[in-house]
Amino acid sequence: MIIVLKPTATKEEMNHIVDMIQKAGLKTNVSIGDHQTIVGVIGDKTKLSDMPIASLASVESIVQVSKPYKIASRDFHPDDTIVDVKGRKIGGGNLAIVAGPCSVESEAQMMTITKAVKESGANFLRAGAFKPRTSPYAFQGMGEEGLKLLKKAGREFDLPVVTEVMDTATIDLICEYADVLQIGTRNAQNFALLKEAGKRNLPVVLKRGMSQTIEEWLMSAEYIMSEGNKNVILCERGIRTFETATRNTFDIIAVPVIKEKSHLPIIVDPSHAAGKWQYVVPMALAGIVAGADGIMIEVHHEPEKAISDGAQSLKPKKFTEMMKEIVKIASVIGVGENLKIAA
């Protein structure tokens, strides 16, 4: 940590700060410039993390030097983490293709879509039974009945299932049915939920908060990991900006940034990023080429009749075409050998 003093700071003020830090058991390194003085702090900065040095009149700014996350950082874990879900691997060149409808709607719907995505190469099934909706008047999901249908479809077609948990009160219920927990963008800083997910033994897909910086997102992963659960899969799903032509802005540079700063796998969700099906395929391909470890895609056989997110869902035929393109492109960049498409 570096403390930048104001040009007007006196020697007494400087000494006062150095004292405070040394009393907290840390070392200092003072650098007196022509115009401004800076005080470097050496040692375990968590001792200082809640000391509001920034409120001192003599301080211009505080600069954090070391990363605030540890377990999620590549500094302490140089090798890529590979998450294993019932034998399906994510990371280290293994691509996760997570596909399915936005919401579980009926058994027939689940069976139709699951069969289609499995044949086209999906290796995970996704669908929501508890739905976070902006409006209290919109469909809120089928609840446990939906979880049952989801699990049934997953078993029938041998696909591990991913589904969203929205609250600590329902996490145990969801763990009975899910193979992977999903924490959504609106709960990315629901710290009580993150901690609970950290205490379960299911892998967690952690979507980025729609206005979360990459550093804050890794801090949310740290919440889960610091409770013991190391199987976190990050999911970039678009951030909120001024642009209105798309539902969100797909922050694709987050893929190489995460690869540099963390060892965790990262997948991308172009369906939510774009919000319109016609932009989904190019964004899925771009995500793979950018280095993502997989994609999460909304698929519906009758988007016109989908209860939610129909506008951004691919039809199975389009999904199949996309998967063929993905297999070709993945082989050029040397990943995705795990993918299997029914001939």
Q: Which of residues 124-153 bind its own copies (CB under 8 A)?
A: 132-139
Shortest spacing between CB 310 and its own copies, in angstroms:
2
- What is the spatial distance between Cα 321 and Cα 21, in angstroms, rounded to a whole number? 61
Compute the Cα dihedral for 326, 105, 240, 83 and give only its sign.
Answer: negative
Q: How far apart are CA 301 and CA 119, in angstroms?
A: 14
**Beta bridge partner(s), residue 296:** 98
Taking CB under 8 A as the binding criterion, the range among 115-123, 149-157, 253-261, 335-343 that sits at the site for its own copies is 253-261
Q: Could you tell me how many residues of this chain bind its own copies (CB under 8 A)?
A: 111
The residue from 80, 257, 321, 341 that contacts its own copies (CB under 8 A) is 257
Asked if residue 286 binds its own copies (CB under 8 A), the reply is: yes
Q: Which residues 6+ apart lie within 8 Å of 84 measured at CB? A: 90
Q: Is 54 in the site for its own copies (CB under 8 A)?
A: yes
**Using the rule CB under 8 A, is 278 a contact of its own copies?**
yes
**260 vs 245: CA distance, rounded Å:** 30
Shorter beta-carbon distance to its own copies: residue 71 or 85: 71
Contacts of 8-16 spanning 24+ positions with Cβ under 8 A: 8/58, 9/37, 9/58, 9/59, 10/58, 13/56, 13/57, 13/58, 14/39, 14/58, 16/56, 16/58
As a whole number of angstroms, the distance between CA 218 and CA 235 comes to: 11
Residue appearing with tokens 């140089």: 78
If one asks whether residue 112 binds its own copies (CB under 8 A), the answer comes out as no
Single residue of 11, 87, 201, 260 touching its own copies by CB under 8 A = 260
Site string for its own copies, 6-45 (x = CB under 8 A): -xx-----------x--------x-xxxxxx-x-x-xxx-
For 328, other C-beta atoms within 10 Å of its C-beta total 11
Contacting its own copies (CB under 8 A), which of 80, 152, 325, 341?
325
Q: Does 219 bind its own copies (CB under 8 A)?
A: yes
- What is the closest distance, in whole angstroms, from the C-beta atom of residue 22 to its own copies in the complex? 15
> What string marks each residue from 76 to 105 as x (binds its own copies by CB under 8 A) or -?
------------------------------
Asked if 206 interacts with its own copies (CB under 8 A), we say no
Name the token pair of 150. Answer: 């989801």
Number of C-alpha atoms within 13 angstroms, CB side, residue 142? 20
Q: Does 201 bind its own copies (CB under 8 A)?
A: no
Q: Which stretch binds its own copies (CB under 8 A): 59-67, 92-100, 110-118, 173-181?
A: 59-67
- State the Cα–Cα distance between residues 119 and 144, nearest whole angstrom: 27
CB of 289 to its own copies, least distance (A): 5
| 324 scored as a contact of its own copies (CB under 8 A) | no
Q: What kind and span of H or E run contains 149? A: helix 144-156
Q: Among residues 24, 175, 329, 341, which is the contact residue for its own copies, using CB under 8 A?
A: 329
Whether the CB-CB separation of 91 and 83 falls below 8 Å is answered with: yes
**Taking CB under 8 A as the rule, does residue 337 contact its own copies?**
no
Alpha carbon distance 210, 249 (integer Å)? 9
